[in-house]
Amino acid sequence: MGMAPIAHVLWGKYMKYNPSNPKWWNRDRFVLSNGHACALQYVLLHLSGFKEYSMEQLQKFRQVGSKCPGHPENILVDGGIEVTTGPLGQGIGNAVGLAIAEAHLAASFNKPDFEIFNNFTYVFCGDGCLQEGVSCEASSVAGHLGLGKLILFYDDNHITIDGETDLSFSEDVLKRYESYGWHTQFVADGDNDIAAIAAALEAAQKVTDKPSIIKVRTTIGKGSSKQGTEKVHGSPLGAEEIVKVKKLFGFPEDKSFYVPDDVKQVYDQIIPKGQAAEDKWNDMYKSYSSKYPKEAAELARRMSNKLPENWRSCLPTFKPEDAAKATRQHSETVINAIAGTIPELIGGSADLNPSTLSYIKSSGDFQKGTHEGRNIRFGVREHGMASICNGIMGYGGLVSYGSTFLNFIGYAMGAVRLSALSHFGVIYVMTHDSIGLGEDGPTHQPIESLMAVRATPNILLLRPADGNETSGAYAVAIESHSRPSVLALSRQAIPNLKGSSIEGVFKGAYVLQDAEGGKPDVSIVGTGSEVSLAVEAAALLQKDHNLKVRVISMPSWELFREQSSEYQQSVFLEDVPVLAVEAASHVGWGEFSHASVAMHSFGHSGPAKDVFIKYGFTAKNVSEKALKLVDFYKGRKAGSLVVKPF
């Protein structure tokens, strides 16, 4: 209710959009970062004529099966909601990503007289969003990059869930945004002064070298007797109160889910206005297509999320005799090998380029004045980075990636889970993926990170074992447009394995090497840098104990679960005990093994080799544990890990 005047000014007059085609490429983007106020957004979508937002849908607000859930979800509708918001602060990061995408595509595709991309990104936010670190990070990036088409409305209603904002929030927000390099404005009476809101909006549009924030003083629950208090933040007004509010604003008291005629008349003009704007743009795009057919074809491909044909042929492959390298080094090779074929790939690291090796060498930096650059310098801002990557995916036509040490996914999970929930195929290039990072010590050695990702729905964890599997991991990630991927990559060098393959990665797990002469006595399943250790242990077991050992490489649990039951049973054989080896938390391995060599504590600072020895990641220890496992299952049935009761 408090933001309704701002929303009316924006949606009713200034925003460029066509409800008949919610996916028009050059529409202005709108993000409701304070997603709990989504009733407002659903009403605006309904009023302005988005077909999916029927009155029936509005009536099913927050019910199972509704397109109007408790917070806006982009995946429930075909347009109208650009990004999924609600977890506070994310919308601001997403909006920065949307504005980066617009700037990059404009720099890449616009031509003199052809402004194919020139939309604004508008965001609404409240105090909560501004308190969150993720928004602070993203806002600092936006100021640094000078994203002139990003306009943020700050609903300054002085109320949070707990009460007055001055309980915990007494900073000078506009001064802070000035320090970031933003253009700042203040509207003193956001409840009534429509003209001032409009004037501020126009002024913001004219500032093209800086993002804009407009602080608008509003009254929460405007019109109710509880207005201006926390009592209208999360709780319904109640029937009596609603009647009062309707009276105040001159609406019929007895009608609910009702649009008065005068309101209807105003909003009925939106569709023709939006259609006219798009028609004009379509004419331009038609001329563009004839003048620049190559660019237009490329753009059409990208905006429809199609990959170039035979794109996989650019993926490098490796032989066992190739030099042992860290998978982060293979990752650098692969990124740069595919960067030409996949020009929609854009991303960067959280100030770790020399370590995560994720720079696209054939392109330059995305900076103020060089928006065609594909390398984004996110700074030491992991959460902001992930949130921005989501926004870039939300725009369309691009594939975003973000890179840091795997351990610091713990700083960013709030946004990473939203990649998964939003079906945004962001690629997280996470290096230094185990205690094998060595000297930096346990503050930087991930233990729980792999499992935290594996426990998240709709996201792929890919932990490649060598060069071929790194190629495979990128192949999966690039082709996975509606599911994000986390690539877990080693700091330390590991050999290229006999039998490894790109195709194997697509299956999630596969038999890397098998014992000759019948059914194995034991299988060792490993991921990433521990697969080569499994191979070594298998050799020891064969040599010293004459055991038949199968080695399974398992780069992705998620992909393996999606294989046929037959295939699964051909990898994990019935009554063959399985030992897992992974230099990360043991928790979770019960699903795919009978016992594990894994971490039960945090790691330790020291050279990688010594740290591996300390925690038992040696061929000797793995082979000893495998022997114990074999002994244990003498006289017991190991059963099947993949045949399930339901």
- Per CB under 8 A, contacts with a second copy among 371-410 are 377-384, 407-408, 410
The answer to whether residue 582 forms part of the interface with a second copy (CB under 8 A) is no
User: Which of 5, 35, 425, 504 lies at the binding interface for a second copy (CB under 8 A)?
Assistant: 35
Nearer to a second copy, 167 or 276 (CB): 167
| Catalytic residue of the set 344, 382, 530, 558 | 382
Burial of 210 (0-12, 13-18, 19+ CB in 10 A): buried
280 by DSSP, 3-state: which? helix
The question of whether 202 is a catalytic residue gets the answer no
What sign has the CA pseudo-torsion 277, 278, 279, 285? Answer: positive
Nearer to a second copy, 65 or 518 (CB): 65
CA angle (451 as vertex; 598, 84 as ends), nearest 5:
170
350 phi and psi angles, rounded to 5 deg: -85, 70
User: Which of 37, 43, 315, 452 lies at the binding interface for a second copy (CB under 8 A)?
Assistant: 452
14 by DSSP, 3-state: which? helix
Nearer to a second copy, 131 or 501 (CB): 131
The answer to whether residue 133 forms part of the interface with a second copy (CB under 8 A) is yes
Work out how close the CB of 66 gets to a second copy at its nearest, in angstroms, rounded to a whole number: 7
Instruction: Taking each helix axis as running N to C, give the angle between helix 38-48 and helix 270-291, from 0 to 180 degrees, rounded to the nearest 10.
Output: 80
The answer to whether residue 319 forms part of the interface with a second copy (CB under 8 A) is no
User: Which of 200, 420, 478, 554 lies at the binding interface for a second copy (CB under 8 A)?
Assistant: 420
The token pair at 243 is: 């009647």
Tracing tokens 């002139």 back to the chain, one arrives at 148
Q: Smallest Cα–Cα separation from 226: which of 290, 179, 157?
A: 157
Contact region for a second copy (CB under 8 A) — 103-111, 274-282, 388-396, 585-593?
585-593
Binders of a second copy among 475-534, rule CB under 8 A?
none
x-or-dash pattern for a second copy, window 554-573, by CB under 8 A?
---x----------------
Nearer to a second copy, 26 or 434 (CB): 434
User: Which of 414, 495, 520, 526 lies at the binding interface for a second copy (CB under 8 A)?
Assistant: 414
Q: Using CA atoms, how far apart are residues 256 and 267, in angstroms rounded to an integer?
A: 18
Query: Could you tell me the end-to-end alpha-carbon distance of the chain, in angstroms, rounded to an integer?
Result: 49
Residue 152 near residue 216, CB atoms below 8 Å = no
Nearer to a second copy, 30 or 408 (CB): 408
Nearer to a second copy, 246 or 368 (CB): 368
Nearer to a second copy, 80 or 143 (CB): 143
Work out how close the CB of 199 gets to a second copy at its nearest, in angstroms, rounded to a whole number: 25
Q: How many residues bind a second copy (CB under 8 A)?
A: 126
Those residues whose C-beta lies under 8 Å from the C-beta of residue 175, and which sit 6 or more positions away, are none
Q: Beta-carbon neighbour count of residue 423 at 10 Å?
A: 17
Q: Using CA atoms, how far apart are residues 454 and 214, in angstroms rounded to an integer?
A: 40
Those residues whose C-beta lies under 8 Å from the C-beta of residue 494, and which sit 6 or more positions away, are 324, 325, 326, 327, 465, 466, 528, 529, 531, 532
Contact region for a second copy (CB under 8 A) — 192-200, 273-281, 313-321, 604-612?
604-612
The answer to whether residue 58 forms part of the interface with a second copy (CB under 8 A) is no
Contact region for a second copy (CB under 8 A) — 43-51, 173-181, 301-309, 310-318?
173-181
Work out how close the CB of 173 gets to a second copy at its nearest, in angstroms, rounded to a whole number: 7
Which neighbouring-strand residues pair with 372?
Answer: none
The answer to whether residue 639 forms part of the interface with a second copy (CB under 8 A) is yes
- Report, as residue numbers or ranges, the catalytic residues: 382
